[in-house]
Amino acid sequence: MVLESVPNRARRTSGEPVDDLSATLVRAQRGDEDAFRLLYRSVQPGLCRYLRVLVGQDAEDVASEAWLQITRDLASFRGDADGFRAWTATIGRNRALDHLRHRRRRPVAEAPAEWFPERPAPDDTAGAAIEATATEAALALIATLPRDQAEAVVLRAVVGLDAKAAAAVLGKRPGAVRTAAYRGLRTLADRLGGRV
């Protein structure tokens, strides 16, 4: 398992240059559905990974709630692509904290798998399982870190935020985020026996 460092500022995890993403953001704010689709595809994977560290298997549900708010407030957003990523992470984090509070008040009992009929998946299940296993293992390992370190690592290394943007999401100073991310990555390296 390899954990990558913060993506190059000129490109994000989607491979799309930041300048193109900023232009896509402007078009999406004007109502261009294709631009919104590109924006969503660029931001959603990192947002889901971040939320998975916070809420576990409920990450997709929380991300859906976050996207409802993002869509509703998109026209009023002011900023560039990096600011948009930070804004979406902040919204996702707030929805995740709401979800955790709700779950503490109303715990849910999980149903056993035998209750559900077998249905074939519409895509390549084996390939998706192999890819998901590696991602899940990395996120599960990150989730074992203290919360501040786990959030800093995911926001910096997975979502691709710089220290200033991650600090805004977490309500901390950039130096504190850099320190938490460093300590978290160091701990992960130690746990993996230096295989990072």
Is residue 160 assigned to a domain?
yes
pLDDT score at 10: 36
Is residue 4 assigned to a domain?
no
Is residue 53 assigned to a domain?
yes
Is residue 121 assigned to a domain?
no
pLDDT score at 128: 61
Task: Identify whether the C-beta of residue 91 lies closer than 8 Å to the C-beta of residue 84.
Answer: no
pTM above 0.95, yes or no: no
Is residue 122 assigned to a domain?
no
Domain that holds residue 85: 18-107+132-191
List per-residue pLDDT tens for the chain, 196 residues long: 333 333 333 344 444 455 588 899 999 999 999 999 999 999 999 999 999 999 988 999 999 999 999 999 999 999 998 899 999 999 999 999 999 888 887 766 666 666 666 665 566 655 665 666 677 888 888 889 999 999 999 888 888 889 999 999 899 999 999 999 999 989 988 888 855 4
Is residue 85 assigned to a domain?
yes
CATH of the domain at 57: 1.10.1740.10
pLDDT score at 2: 36
- How many independent structural domains does the chain possess? 1
Is residue 86 assigned to a domain?
yes
**For every residue of the chain, which 3-state class applies, written as one string?**
CCCCCCCCCCECCCCCEHHHHHHHHHHHHCCCHHHHHHHHHHHHHHHHHHHHHHHHHHHHHHHHHHHHHHHHHHHHCCCCHHHHHHHHHHHHHHHHHHHHHHHHHCCCCCCCHHHCCCCCCCCCHHHHHHHHHHHHHHHHHHHCCCHHHHHHHHHHHHCCCCHHHHHHHHCCCHHHHHHHHHHHHHHHHHHCCCCC
Is residue 125 assigned to a domain?
no
pLDDT score at 141: 85
